[in-house]
Amino acid sequence: MSGAAGEVTPEVVAEHGLTPAEYDRVLEIMGRAPNLLELGIFSVMWSEHCSYKSSKRWLKELPTEAPWVIHGPGENAGVIDIGDGLAAIFKMESHNHPSFIEPYQGAATGVGGILRDVFTMGARPVANLNALRFGSPDHPRTRHLLRGVVAGIGGYGNCVGVPTVGGEVNFHDSYNGNILVNAMTVGIAPVDRIFTARASGIGNAVVYVGSKTGRDGIHGESMASAEFSEDAEEKRPTVQVGDPFTEKLLIEACLELMATDAIVAIQDMGAAGLTSSSFEMASSGGVGIQLDLDQVPCREDAMTPYEMMLSESQERMLLILAPGRQEKAEAIFRKWELDFAVIGHLTDTGRMVLRFGGETVGDLPIDPLAKASPEYDRPWVATPPPASVSLGEPGVPLETALLRLLACPDLASRRWIWEQYDHTVMGDTVQRPGGDAAVVRIHGSNRGLAIATDCTPRYCRAHPETGGAQAVAEAWRNLNAVGALPRAVTDNMNFGNPERPEVMGQFVGCIQGMKAACLALDFPVVSGNVSLYNETDGRAILPTPAIGAVGVIEDLSRSATVALKRDGDALLLLGEARGHLGQSLYLREILGREAGPPPPVDLQAERRNGDFARRLIAEQGVDTCHDLSDGGLLVALAEMAMAGRRGATVTLPAGPGADALQLAAASFGEDQARYLLAMPAALADRALQDAAAAGVPLQRIGIVGGGKLTVTDAFTISVDALATAHEEWLPGYMAL
Amino acid sequence: MKARVHVTLKPGVLDPQGRAVNHALHSLGFDRVGDVRQGKFFDIELGYDDREAAEAAVKEMCDRLLANPVVESYAIEIQA
Amino acid sequence: MKARVHVTLKPGVLDPQGRAVNHALHSLGFDRVGDVRQGKFFDIELGYDDREAAEAAVKEMCDRLLANPVVESYAIEIQA
Amino acid sequence: MQAGVIVFPGSNCDRDVAVALAQSTGRPAAMIWHGESALPPLDLIVIPGGFSYGDYLRSGAIAAHSPIMREVVARARAGTAVLAICNGFQIAQEAGLLPGALLRNASQRFVCRDVHLLVERSAPPFTSRYNAGTVVRIPVAHHDGNFYADDETLARLEGEGQVVFRYVTAEGARAPDANPNGSLADIAGICDPGGRILGMMPHPERLADAALGGTDGRAMFDAALEHLS
Ligand SMILES: Nc1ncnc2c1ncn2[C@@H]1O[C@H](COP(=O)(O)OP(=O)(O)O)[C@@H](O)[C@H]1O
Ligand SMILES: [Mg+2]
């Protein structure tokens, strides 16, 4: 077999990231030594990214089923039934490393990739979100990375015309050398028009559409030097450049074709491009595939089969067309000025045969390669339980602490970010960024999707199991807080090197916690993504299992926002106030310590309190609600006041004679399963009665009104002063 | 002294703008147009007397700000 | 044949990009930087044998598409 | 009233404006692909927002050369009303329908937020339902909205009452903070001398529905229905 020059030596095998044991497996499957092209294919198919070899064993433990789940993990994205004959299709994906190298393009192509995962299944994308983690604000690269990532997310999402409606941002020095850029897309499709990658129909055409293939992303390390000439570096951009304009055309063209009966199967070309897309399609359909690589639209001269199969050029899709539909399909793609090329057909051989220049240049069995990828049960050690923390004196008055917290990097307003995202395009954004969950109207109806992303990495490091559960619980809470019925989640598991047992222990712990929470809250995982090896010089990032969550609002006129709305409304605290300060932002920002156990997560209480809050909104017309998370009660109250430009007077839920530390704990403790609600007095009376009857902890803590926030026996501060502190930090930081 | 700095995408890096310009020129009937690459340039006034010092400074500006070394390359011309 | 076309904002039109670059260079400590103007350029491959025909064609491309006469001016170089 | 919305490759507010038009007019707008060379009979032509041709080269420059734009220009010259929003405004300028240019925002950043506009001109067919001097709230979402015109053009626009909207504070005051992009004279929207071609950076279609938090934009579509039927 020729056409793929270069000898496969042990060094070349190692450069392709295959272990000697994995290479033995290759030899066994092939029954001979692979050529370089074939080796390249094995290497990408068995990479951590494509094969999930370290994480698979644990991901299997996550609950993935519910009556409303149409497709769980395993497809391009998760699919749930949202009623009225419609499905929500969503997933989150990381682009961490590329974004660190080149923040604008790395983040932009991350958005492009996740959009394709969603529209490849037949959905029109309706919302983008992004969960971002940067290094310490003092780190010299942080500003540059933040600026570039935000511009890249906006540059791509704004151009394709999908609103970017929410997300989260944390700063921590563990991300100094490994930022996290996790992008989520949600789309909507009719339930009876969902497309998968399952190829079928021997003889059916394999069609390539979208942009041309260049030498993008063929990484230096995983590349056999033998094959390339001197100027290899110059020729081979490892950073891919996104073309959102082409993506927009691709969305429209694919959706137009999807409205016909031409498509048998469809798959985006993501990481490992043509290789993984063609393998996945053939493997899931149980068929063989023959590709004629001479037909692949190339952007550059003299591209080799190796380069074509491994290129990560963006904005490309692979389709299997039904017989006789080629002309119709081609006309649509030509209309949208996109490349369209028949590059092969399906066979009954169960093999992938690659032809180039009149010769067979590669011939591999599909199933053994796709399904028999390595799976590791990596050794792990559980994270030792955190020591309890003894707190000294609070040090600063409550008022000062509140102002400092509102202006701290993890809590300061993200307006500077979301104003760079078009969050109102498509004309259905009912709740813009800034609330608990974004709410996007289901087009043409009075129903909505609520969407949020959450994770508190410092909790995950202190106690992975609690942190994993907390991430799911907080996402669930954010959906309830707007009045949505939480339905399902997607996850993005960002961790360090899984070959280190402590890191693997964090992974396992987080999974266990997520599993417990998903089960208790009827909140299955329908899609996800894993990003490992996020570490520099042996120092791993905080374990970061980012959760993206989707819920349904049946009647948008019965939903809630965080803004205080009327003077005279009663303020009600739902959930118990225990004043847990371990791992709190108060402890870190005011007392200067990252220590102690995270707040315990009581899933029964979460469920009970969340169901109660949602019913108040959806059934009794309560329209003001905010869940309590980072910063606790006073931060949440301040956020409600700033959003509504309206003050309030509250009494802290601390016993009489509480000392200064107890008052701080009541103000800023991060106890879970809590919500703060505001409602007219009559509704409040009824809610309190119902709660008492149902054994739900609910108490009146204050009243809305005026332009100031007053904490009885402590302080009074104007809402404007709070807003100034909250709004100034990020623009000020970025202006430097 | 003045410098003109040209910044271009490295060869092989996708240039969607250049491609769009190429298409647009073709649809206007300029059918003898081949490849088009788009770049940017900066005209910078410099308070240096010494040409070499100026060049060194501009090179540093390119490395630190004007060009993105991951995808772009640059060329400097110093004009007296 | 090849053409390089430089497009710049006309003098008198405020150049926000150039100004931002100037600020950024100053904050990086390049304090001998004076005025900065940013422009774009196009490298266009042309299927002409005749230099004048090429130049005329490129001039037309500029007038019709590559530059916006309201705010931009252009300069053409033909390279053999 | 029959409205038509021109759709370019990369337009992305075409559907949004069609929804707002249908809400006011009670009938669907005609969606017209840029490659068409003829227009059906229309009372109003809308050039919508988005990123036609990815905003590559210059925002609006490539779309302005689409086959359909020749027809749009001819109709506009013959008196058909044209509403050009955001990228549509950029296209209209590139096509010579409106004066000036829209440069990169002074901040260099894309900006998406609600802005307040002072209505400088209350007149058919688009702004008759606003009283001159009122302040309306409408979102912007653009990277290139920094209005520029040379002194002479600016003087003419001001002198002839062709400035339709200006960025102001909620209270109606001119202020640097109220101007999201650095536009000259805080200009957010202008019209031709006859007032039938209106270009504006803000998106009235995005606040034309109470469920989205405001209806100030709707009055423009209602006015069009009243005057163009
Ligand atoms: N990267 C981002 N992009 C867009 N919106 C963001 C981003 N980060 C945070 N936000 C928004 O800012 C608000 C506050 O975020 P966060 O404090 O994480 O909320 P919560 O505590 O309710 O989870 C949310 O509405 C969120 O969607
Ligand atoms: Mg929240």
Quote the CA–CA distance of A115 and A210 in Å, as a whole number. 14
**DSSP category for residue C13:** S
| pLDDT score, position A6 | 67
Secondary structure, 3-state, A100-128: HHCHHHHHHHHHHHHHHHHHCCCCEEEEE
Quick check: is D86 catalytic?
A: yes
The protein residue with its alpha carbon nearest to ligand 1, atom 13, reads A434
Centre of ligand 2 from the C-alpha of residue A669, in Å = 15
Contact D51, D10 (CB under 8 A): yes
pLDDT value for A611: 98
> Which residue does chain B place closest to D59, by CA atoms?
B17
**Predicted local distance difference test score (pLDDT) of residue A233:** 42
pLDDT of residue A230: 38
Q: A221 pLDDT exceeds 70?
A: no
Residue A227: pLDDT band (50, 70, 90) is very low
Arithmetic mean of pLDDT, A453-481: 98
Mind listing the pLDDT tens digit for each residue in C13-68? Answer: 988 889 999 999 998 999 999 999 999 999 999 999 999 999 999 999 999 999 99
User: How far is D216 from A302, CA to CA, in rounded Å?
Assistant: 57
Model confidence pLDDT, tens digit, residues A280-327: 999 999 999 999 999 999 999 999 999 999 999 999 999 999 999 999
Tally Cβ neighbours within 10 Å of residue A370. 20
* Confidence at residue D85, expressed as pLDDT on a 0 to 100 scale: 98
Q: Which residues contact C52 (CB under 8 A, 6 or more apart)?
A: none
The secondary structure of B25-54 as a DSSP string is HHHTT-TTEEEEEEEEEEEEEE--S-HHHH
pLDDT, position A433: 97
Q: pLDDT tens digit string along A546-568?
A: 999 999 999 999 999 999 999 99
Average pLDDT of chain A, as a whole number: 94
Cross-chain Cβ contact B12/A105 below 8 Å: no
Q: Tell me how far the alpha carbon of residue A548 lies from the centroid of ligand 2, in angstroms.
A: 13
Task: Determine whether the shortest distance from the Cβ of A470 to ligand 1 is under 6 A.
Answer: no
Better-scored residue on pLDDT, A119 or B69: A119
**pLDDT tens per residue, range A334-373:** 999 999 999 999 999 999 999 999 999 999 999 988 877 8
Residues 6+ apart with CB under 8 A from A336: A249, A250, A252, A253, A256, D9
DSSP one-letter code for A589: I
How far does the CA of residue B60 sit from the closest CA of chain C (Å)?
9
How far, in Å, CA of D76 to CA of D199, rounded?
13
Closest residue on chain B to D56 (Cα)? B17
Among D13, D86, D94, D227, the active-site one is D86
Residue A418 Cβ < 6 Å to ligand 1? yes
Phi-psi region of A647 (alpha: psi -120 to 50; beta: other; left: phi over 0): beta
On whether the CB atoms of residues A544 and A133 are closer than 8 A, the answer is yes
**Using one digit for the tens of pLDDT, what is the confidence trace for A575-586?**
999 999 999 999
Cis upstream peptide for A697 (omega within 30°): no
Confidence band (pLDDT; 50, 70, 90) for A389?
Answer: confident
b/e string for D28-58 if b means 16 or more Cβ within 10 A? ebbebebeeeebeebbbbbbbbbbbbbbbbb
> Which residues fall within 8 angstroms of residue B68, CB to CB, at 6 or more apart?
A102
Our answer to whether residue A423 is catalytic in this structure is no
Cα–ligand 2 centroid distance for A474 (angstroms): 7
The average pLDDT across B20-28 equals 95
- Per-residue pLDDT, A393: 81
D205 tagged catalytic:
yes
d(CA A517, CA A297): 47
pLDDT in tens, A104-146: 999 999 999 999 999 999 999 999 999 999 999 999 999 999 9
Quick one: CA dihedral A22, A25, A30, A31, positive or negative?
Answer: positive
Instruction: For the beta carbon of residue A65, count every other beta carbon within 10 angstroms.
Output: 10
Identity (one letter) of the amino acid at A486? P
Q: A271: pLDDT confidence band, cut at 50, 70 and 90? A: confident
**Nearest CA owner, ligand 1 atom 24:** A434
Beta strand extents in A203-308 (DSSP E only) = 205-210, 263-268, 288-292
SS3 A188: strand
Closest CA to ligand 1's atom 14: A434
* Range of weakest confidence among A219-228, B1-10, D31-40: A219-228
Please tell me the predicted confidence (pLDDT) of residue A706. Answer: 96
Whether A474 and A545 have beta carbons less than 8 Å apart is answered as no
Predicted confidence (pLDDT) per residue in A400-447, tens digit = 999 999 999 999 999 999 999 999 999 999 999 999 999 999 999 999
pLDDT, tens digit, 9 for 90 and up, residues A34-72:
999 999 999 989 888 888 888 999 999 999 999 999 999
- Please identify every stretch of chain D with a pLDDT value under 50, giving residue numbers as ranges: none
Say if ligand 1 is within 6 A of residue A670 CB.
no
Residue A222 in this model has a pLDDT that exceeds 80: no
Distance CA A231, CA A723 (A): 55
Task: Give yes or no for residue A395 having a pLDDT over 90.
Answer: no
pLDDT at position A217, please? 79
pLDDT at A231: 43
- Report the pLDDT value the prediction gives residue A370, as an integer from 0 to 100: 80
**Is the distance from the beta carbon of residue A625 to the nearest atom of ligand 1 less than 6 Å?**
no
Model pLDDT, residue A1: 47
pTM: 0.95
Q: DSSP labels for D143-191?
A: S--EEE--HHHHHHHHHTT-EEEEEE-TTS---GGG-SS--GGGEEEEE
